[in-house]
């Protein structure tokens, strides 16, 4: 059986999906953009936007009973590959060795005009 994960500390979904789903020991987050918990897209620098994405993921993972140390896979989508280094620096500040497997995909656009979207898979210890 799968379990819906939901927290008011991250933005509500804007479509027919869950913030995250837990199944067995696995937690799968939906892609998080740089929306604040009230659903407004955070403006500001790309670093500030990346921090907001990571804060959203922290809140979702926490309510599911896991943390960044339990993440085994990350998928990152960005609309401008020239800012990859800046986003990567913020991402690295939240993660630790051994880093999760990850891919970064350059895309034309993201929901709500976002610049970054990140999803994660974690395993409960």
HSE-up (13 A, CA, CB side) for residue 69 = 2
Per-residue pLDDT at 60: 98
Note the pLDDT tens digit of each residue in 2-18.
Answer: 999 999 999 999 999 99
CATH code reported for the domain at 2-123: 3.30.1330.40
Question: What is the pTM assigned to this prediction?
Answer: 0.96
Token pair 């998928």 in the structure block, residue: 75
Q: What is the pLDDT of residue 88?
A: 97
Q: Tokens for 92, please give them.
A: 């690295």
Q: What is the pLDDT of residues 81-110, one digit of tens each?
A: 999 999 999 999 999 999 999 999 999 999
Taking Cα atoms as reference points, which of 28, 55, 60, 71 lies closest to residue 116? 55
State the Cα–Cα distance between residues 23 and 45, nearest whole angstrom.
36
pLDDT of residue 74: 98
Q: How far is CA 65 from the centre of its chain?
A: 16
The predicted pLDDT at position 100 comes to 98
């Amino acid at each position: 059986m799968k379990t819906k994960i939901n927290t008011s500390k991250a933005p509500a979904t804007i479509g027919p999906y869950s913030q995250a789903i837990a199944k067995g020991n696995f937690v799968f987050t939906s892609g998080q953009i740089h929306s604040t918990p009230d659903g407004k897209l955070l403006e500001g620098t790309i670093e500030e936007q990346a921090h907001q994405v990571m804060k959203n993921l922290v809140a979702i993972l926490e309510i599911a009973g896991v943390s960044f140390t339990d993440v085994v896979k990350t998928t990152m989508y960005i609309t401008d590959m020239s800012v990859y280094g800046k986003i990567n620096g913020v991402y690295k500040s939240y993660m630790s060795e051994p880093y999760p497997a990850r891919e970064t995909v350059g895309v034309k656009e993201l929901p709500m005009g976002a610049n970054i979207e990140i999803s994660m898979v974690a395993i409960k210890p």
